[in-house]
């Protein structure tokens, strides 16, 4: 791991810890959506910027690792969003990941970091921090979309009662 990758990895770890801490406890799902979408979109933007800022061609292996990482992020995001708990309390929607969601997130992170390690060993310059941030942002954005969809269904069920 190079010195340039270490700060990226620390940023990803800090964001993951903050997001997991927040999503493991019951949190109100804001109507504005910005609270849920802002962080993932920032991670995706920073990841894309870092990937293209290196001015290094990705190559076949780099593109393959990015596609596999994105697919893994989307699958884990859908799974985590589906097991998230959504409740309506006093007219407001609350959500949390719970233990199953934590398990999926931990498994995803272990596999994703393993994929980054494979890329590093294969000498792919794009396998580090930028790809991790892009993948994590895509995962959290997918989770958010599924959770908001569930919240919409919960609100419909609540209004029909």
Please give the Cα distance from 16 to 147 (Å, whole number).
17
CB 144 within 8 A of CB 75: no
* Bridge partners, residue 87, by sequence: 94
Tell me the pLDDT of the chain (161 aa) as tens digits.
Answer: 454 566 766 777 787 788 778 778 888 877 556 667 788 888 899 888 888 876 667 788 888 998 999 999 999 999 999 999 988 888 888 888 889 999 999 999 899 988 888 888 888 877 677 888 899 899 989 998 898 888 887 656 655 55
The pLDDT assigned to 157 comes to: 61
Q: SS3 of 83, please?
A: helix
């Amino acid at each position: 791991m190079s010195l340039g990758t270490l700060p990226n990895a620390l940023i990803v770890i800090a964001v993951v810890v903050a997001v997991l801490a927040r999503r493991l406890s019951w949190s109100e799902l804001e109507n504005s959506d910005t609270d849920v979408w802002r962080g993932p979109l920032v991670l995706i933007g920073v990841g894309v910027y870092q990937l293209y800022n290196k001015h290094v061609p990705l190559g076949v292996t780099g593109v393959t690792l990015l596609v596999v990482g994105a697919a893994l992020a989307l699958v884990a995001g859908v799974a985590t969003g589906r097991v998230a708990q959504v409740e309506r309390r006093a007219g407001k929607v609350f959500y949390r990941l719970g233990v199953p969601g934590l398990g999926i997130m931990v498994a995803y992170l272990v596999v994703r970091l393993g994929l980054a390690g494979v890329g590093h060993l294969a000498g792919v310059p794009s396998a580090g921090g930028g790809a991790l941030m892009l993948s994590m942002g895509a995962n959290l954005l997918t989770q958010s979309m599924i959770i908001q969809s569930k919240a919409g269904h919960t609100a419909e069920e609540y209004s029909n009662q």
